[in-house]
Chain A
């Protein structure tokens, strides 16, 4: 069964470092998303991406964050200068044409020290 894959599963970084989280969405999906979940809290929307551009972003998705689809398969989230409060699980999701049904990867846990 097709699935969304994310790497790395866990990354530890120093405050101020750049981090890139990678996702391979389901191959025929057109809509891509990043969400984050701080430990014990709810899942928060960061950004949606369609047709090679951002469709919508939340207040959390400030200038420190960027997304890119560098080739036909990968979808990346970059955090330019990490802060302690960026420590969270980051989930990538994708959706097929017109359905709005999200399929999530297993998440990348980011720990900022």
Chain B
């Protein structure tokens, strides 16, 4: 099955810093999403990005499908950005979507 690896596993930053989170996957996929799990455990959709680049405010994401990786950029970090960021990939809607182990981001004031 697909293997999904995220790096780094943990990241501690000061408020205002920028960060780059990486997701590598082992096979060609048709679906790729980034989620933020907030301290209350909710999984918040950030991007659905099987390929290309998208931006939403301070966040942007890029997926290079041919090289099997995706990057999530967070600029000017705020304490509310803290939590775990997951990448999830899959072949199709009917099949399983597999999550990586996540990157735990802690933003210090």
Contact = CB atoms under 8 A, between A and B. Distances in A.
Interface string B59-96: 00000000000000000000000000010101011111
Given A91-B43, A102-B88, A56 B93 contact: no
Nearest to A103: B45
B93 A107 contact: no
A48 B96 contact: yes
Interface string B85-109: 0101010111111111110000000
A98 B94 CA distance: 9
Q: Give the interface size class of chain B.
A: 20 to 34
Given A100-B31, A101-B33, A104-B43, A45 B94 contact: no
A32 B56 CA distance: 27
Given A99-B48, A100-B31, A43 B43 contact: yes
- Highest count of chain B CB atoms <10 Å: which of A30, A91, A100, A104: A100
A31 B94 contact: yes
Interface of B: 30-31, 33, 35, 41-43, 45, 48, 50, 86, 88, 90, 92-102
Given A48-B94, A106-B41, 17 more contacts: A30-B93, A31-B93, A33-B97, A35-B99, A42-B99, A43-B88, A44-B99, A45-B99, A48-B95, A100-B30, A100-B48, A100-B92, A100-B93, A101-B33, A102-B88, A104-B42, A107-B42
